[in-house]
Amino acid sequence: MKNPFSIPRPVPDGPWRWLVPVLLVLLFLLVLLWLPWQARQMESNERQEQLIADTLWVEQTLRFELARSEEALATFGADLAAEAPPAPEVLQARLAQMFKNGHELRRIAWLDADGRLLAVRGIDLPGGGLTQSSREAQAMSRTTRAGRYSDAYGATPAHGGLIDYHLPLYRQGRFTGSLVATYSLQTLLDENVPWWFAQDNALSLLDRDDHVVAQRAAGGPGHGVYTHKRALDLPGAQIALSTDSVKGAPKLLPNLLVGSVIVLALGLVMSLAALWRHIARTIAAENALRQQMAFRTAMENSLLTGLRARDLEGRVTYVNPAFCRIVGLPAHELLGRKPPMAYWAPEAMADYEYRFRKVLEGQAVPQFETVFQRPDGVRVPVLVFEAPLVDSHGRHTGWMSSILDITDRKRAEELARQQQEKLETSARLATMGEISSMLAHELNQPLAAISSYTAGALNVLDKVRDDAAAGPAPSSSSSSSLGMLKRALEQANTQARRAGQIIRSVHEFVKKREPRREIVPVQHVIDGIRALVDLQARQSYVTLQVECPPDLPPVLADRVLLEQVLLNLTRNAIESMQDIARERRVLRIAAAQGDAHVSVSVIDNGHGIPPEVAERLFSPFFSTKAEGMGMGLSICRTAIEFHGGTLTHADNPGGGTVFTFTLQQAQATIPT
C-alpha cells in the first residue's frame, strides 16, 4: 500500500536557466545606475571648477584693489619724502581724496624716522600704539625697503578685523619715516565681492590660525560640499580667502525618466529575486522534508513505542515496526484493515467495539489501558494515547495512536504492591510487638475477673448442693445463692467477650488480606481501634477525647488500612507527650465533614515538629526515634493516597501537632 506521507521527487533544475536573464537585468540596472552617478559626478566637478574660477577672480579683485591702494600710497609717500613736503591743508586734501577712492581704508598715519606721529586721518591709533605684528611689519619694511603688511587683528563677531600696511619713506637713501595704512577686511569684502557671488557662496578671510577675520554670506552658510581656499599673497601677512558654496550635492536622479526606469528595473529585479527565492525555498523545503522523512522513518523504526494511524473510518493507514512487534503481525497484514482487528483479545471485544464507535463519532478516548493478543495467544497489556490527525488546512483526517507495552510496568506494579503489603504487614506486626506488654496486661484483667467469677460460681454451687442434701424444701438462702450464681456467670461472660473482642481486633489488624474498599462509617473505624488506643493512652497517663458527629457521612475506604493509619498517628501523638505535664496530656481525635470529603484530625499537645524535621517527615526510612524504622508516616501517606486523599500536618496553636487526612465521601454505589 502506498505510504500517505511520501512526497514526489522534484525534477532537477540547473541554474543556467536563470543565469542569463539575471545577468542581463543586472547589467541593465548597472548601466542605469552608472549614468546618473556619472552625470552627478560631472555636475559636481563642473560646480567645483566654477567655484575655483570664481574664487580666483575674487582673489584677484581683492589683490587688485589693495595694489591700487599701494600705488596711491607710494605716490603719496614720494611727495612726503621730497625736500619740500606739502602744506598741511594740501596734505589733508590728499588724505581725504585717498579715503574717498578707497572705502576699505580706516586710517592713514605719517610717522617720522623715530616713530613719532606727524599726521593722521581716520580712526585713532590704539592707546598702546601699534600691535606687535604691526611693529614687526614696520621693522621688516624698513629693512627690505618695501611695503609690508601686518597680520590681521581686532576681529569681532560684529565687525571684521583690521590689517596695517607699512610703506617706508627714503630721501636720498636715508630713512625719513613711514606711512601706515589700516584697512578694514570686512569692508574690503563688502565693496569688492559682487552680490550675485555672495548670494551663492559664503566667503571668509582667514588669518594664519584659520580664524575668521571677515565674512560675507548673503545666501546663508555654506554646505561644505564645494569649497576652495586660496591665499591673497600679501607681503608679510598670511591671509587666505575661503569660499564655501551654499549649493548642496547634485541629486543622483536628475530627472523623472531615469528615476522611473530605475524603479521599473528594480521592480523587475525584485520580482525575479522573489520568484527565484520562492523556487529555492520550495526546493529547500522539499529537500528538508525528504530528510525529515528519512530521519523520522529511522527514528520510528528505532522506537519502542508503537505508532498507528487511522482514518476517520477506522482504517489503518500507517504502522511502525514497534507496533508490529507488539501485536506480532507484519505491516502488510495491518495496513488498510478495518475493525475488528486480528489483535483484539476476545475478553475485551466489547470495550474495543465501544471505543471504535467513539472513533467513528469523532470522540476518541484520549487515553486508556487495554489488552492486545498476539497470534500465539500471548496477552500484552498496553497503554494507548489517541490524538487527532489534522492536515495543512486544519481539517481532521484521522487519528494517531501511541501504544506502550506496559507488561514490565504491570509486573513492577504487582511486585511493588506485594512489597507494600508485606511492609504494611510488618509495620502492623511491629506495632503489635510494641504494645504486646500492654495487651498482656489488658487481657490479664478480664481473664482474672473470669477466674474470680468462676470460683465464686463453684462456691455457690457447693453451697446449693449442701442445702439440697439437708432438706427437700428450698430455703430463701438457696434462692439468694442462685441469684449470685447468675450474676457471676453474666460477669464472666462479659469479661470473656471483652477478651475475645481484643483478640479479634488484634487478629484482624495483623492478618494478611487484600485491600478492599467499602462503605465504612468513620465512627466504626475509630471504635475498632479505640481499645488499642486506650491501652497506650492509659499506660502513658494520656486522656483520649473523640469528637465524631453522629450525622457524619460514611467514606469509601479499606477499614483495616484506616485503622492502621489512626493507630500509627495516635501512637506517635502519645509518644510526643511523654515529657509534658500529665494534666496537659490530652489526645483528640476529631472528624468533620467538608464539601465532598470527610477529614479526620489527630491532635496532640506534645513537643511539635521542628522545621528541619518537617521537610523529611514523610520520607521513607527517616525517623527521629532511636529504635524507629522510619516507615510509619510513609505507609500512612501511601495508604491515604490509595484512597484518593491527602495526609498533612500543621502546628497546634496550643502546642503540639495536628495530623489531618481527608477521605472521599461514599456514593450510592461502589465501583468495582
> What number is the average pLDDT over the span 517-527?
86
Q: What is the pLDDT of residues 4-19, one digit of tens each?
A: 444 445 444 556 666 7
SS (H, E, C) 330-367: CHHHCCCCCCCCCCECHHHHHHHHHHHHHHHCCCCCCE
Confidence of residue 166 (pLDDT cuts 50, 70, 90): very high
pLDDT at residue 252 tops 60: no
Confidence of residue 165 (pLDDT cuts 50, 70, 90): very high
Residue 103 CA to its chain's centroid (Å): 78
pLDDT at residue 303 tops 60: yes
H helix and E strand count, the chain: 15, 21
pLDDT at residue 47 tops 60: yes
pLDDT at residue 612 tops 80: no
Q: What is the pLDDT of residues 263-275, one digit of tens each?
A: 777 777 788 788 8
pLDDT of residue 148: 92
pLDDT of residue 1: 42
pLDDT at residue 50 tops 70: yes
- Residues 28, 33, 39, 43: what is their CA dihedral angle, to the nearest 10 degrees? 180
Report how far apart the first and last C-alpha atoms of the chain are (Å, whole number).
Answer: 44
pLDDT at residue 627 tops 70: no
Of 6 and 156, more confident = 156
pLDDT of residue 647: 87
Q: 444 to each of 209, 433, 437, 439, 451, how far by Cα in Å?
A: 125, 17, 11, 8, 10
pLDDT of residue 527: 84
pLDDT of residue 420: 66
> What number is the average pLDDT over the span 571-586?
86
CATH of 21-245, one of 3.90.1150.10, 3.40.50.1100, 1.10.3720.10, 3.30.450.20: 3.30.450.20
Of 281 and 299, more confident = 281
Q: What grid cell was written down for 120?
A: 593722521
Of 524 and 260, more confident = 524
Task: Say how many C-beta atoms besides its own lie within 10 A of residue 292's C-beta.
Answer: 11
**Closest to 101 in 3D by CA, of 77, 75, 72:** 72
Indicate the class that CATH gives domain 303-405.
Answer: alpha beta
What is the average pLDDT value for the chain, to the nearest integer? 78
pLDDT at residue 424 tops 70: no
What's the longest Cα–Cα distance across the chain?
205
644 vs 282: CA distance, rounded Å? 55
pLDDT at residue 646 tops 60: yes
Least confident of 223-232, 411-420, 654-663: 411-420
pLDDT at residue 658 tops 50: yes
Q: 566 to each of 35, 442, 586, 640, how far by Cα in Å?
A: 99, 20, 16, 11
Q: Where are the domains of the chain?
A: 21-245, 255-297, 303-405, 429-514, 515-672
Q: 108 to each of 81, 92, 98, 121, 418, how far by Cα in Å?
A: 16, 11, 9, 5, 128
Q: What is the pLDDT of residues 470-507, one digit of tens each?
A: 655 555 556 666 666 666 676 666 666 666 655 665 55
> What number is the average pLDDT over the span 106-135?
83
pLDDT at residue 414 tops 60: yes
> What number is the average pLDDT over the span 156-181?
85
Residue 201 CA to its chain's centroid (Å): 59
pLDDT of residue 625: 60
The CATH architecture that domain 515-672 belongs to is 2-Layer Sandwich (3.30)
Same topology between domain 21-245 and domain 303-405: yes
Confidence of residue 626 (pLDDT cuts 50, 70, 90): very low
pLDDT of residue 670: 41
> What number is the average pLDDT over the span 601-617?
81
> What number is the average pLDDT over the span 557-584?
85
